[in-house]
Amino acid sequence: MDGFSLLPPEAPLIRVPAGVYRLSERLGGDQEVEAFELDKHLVTVARFHRFVDNGGYDDKAFWSGRGWRYIQRNEVETPRFWREEKWARFLRPERPVVGVSWFEAEAFCRFEGRRLPTEREWEAAARGADGRRYPWGDAWDPEAAAVRGQGPRVTWPVGYFRKNVGPFGHHDLVGNVWQWTTDPAQPERKSESPMVAKGGAWAARIDKNQTDTWNAFDPMDRHSHVGFRTAR
């Protein structure tokens, strides 16, 4: 992985305007959402490498109290799989970074002066005002994403599927990897709750790769099918 940090980090944000968005029934249907910006692409291995190279895992300022205790207790210094040859296909610079816990994603966002999106924001960017089932429309298109049962079981370079574009121009909102959000799946449990992830993944079935589907992972989980994008 030497040299990845020499690649210029391309992290354009796309603005999602304020308005009423047709969110999923789980989130209450039509909802007013304030304007925000969201990464055009998922955070890549090359982009995350800057965080590693610049001492992100050693600087307490980027971490929440729980996150810092987590990486110290578990001696976490890089994402999972980071230097494992058998995961080489997942570690190519243009692919979405995986093996990052919610705590690591949160710390990376602080490093870049950004944050994770809320579930409502993520859905607004993916569903638009018309509440579409997939970012590109209401019918599944096998040329828009490779998911479980369709293609190799691996992540894909961000932006590879040109049809996989949302109403505002965001790529890979479904398929590729589940994406961390700021929302606890069980708000009543507060700090003990798993965190909501959106968007499906290369390892998920078609019916889990929709704009209204969601998953929940422990904030310490570090999976090969979970990544993230940043917001502002």
CB 63 within 8 Å of CB 103:
yes
Mean pLDDT of the chain: 92
- Determine which of 33-42, 87-96, 105-114, 168-177 has the lowest per-residue pLDDT on average: 87-96
43: left (phi over 0), alpha (psi -120 to 50) or beta: beta
Q: Is residue 61 part of a domain?
A: yes
In the chain, the number of structural domains is: 1
Those residues whose C-beta lies under 8 Å from the C-beta of residue 78, and which sit 6 or more positions away, are 52, 57
Q: Is residue 172 part of a domain?
A: yes
pLDDT in tens, 11-21: 899 999 999 99
CB count, 10 Å around CB of 210?
22
Q: How confident is the model at residue 158 (pLDDT cuts 50, 70, 90)?
A: very high
In the chain, what percentage of residues exceed pLDDT 90? 84
By three-state DSSP, how is residue 70 classified?
helix
Backbone angles phi, psi at 197, to 5 degrees: -125, 145
DSSP string, 3-54: TGGGS-----EEEE-SEEEE--GGGTSEEEE--EEEESSPPBHHHHHHHHHT
E strands, 30-189, are: 30-33, 36-39, 178-184
pTM over 0.75: yes
Residue 180 belongs to a domain with what CATH number? 3.90.1580.10
CA–CA dist 17, 20 (Å, integer): 10
Pair of tokens at residue 107 = 């710390």
Write out the residue range of the structural domain in which residue 183 sits.
4-227
pLDDT in tens, 173-182: 999 999 999 9
Q: Is residue 8 part of a domain?
A: yes
pLDDT in tens, 54-88: 999 999 999 999 999 999 999 999 999 998 988 98
**pLDDT score, position 1:** 35
CA–CA dist 66, 42 (Å, integer): 25
CB 13 within 8 Å of CB 39:
yes
Q: Is residue 232 part of a domain?
A: no
Q: Is residue 114 part of a domain?
A: yes
Q: Is residue 137 part of a domain?
A: yes
Pair of tokens at residue 48 = 């995350």
Q: Is residue 167 part of a domain?
A: yes
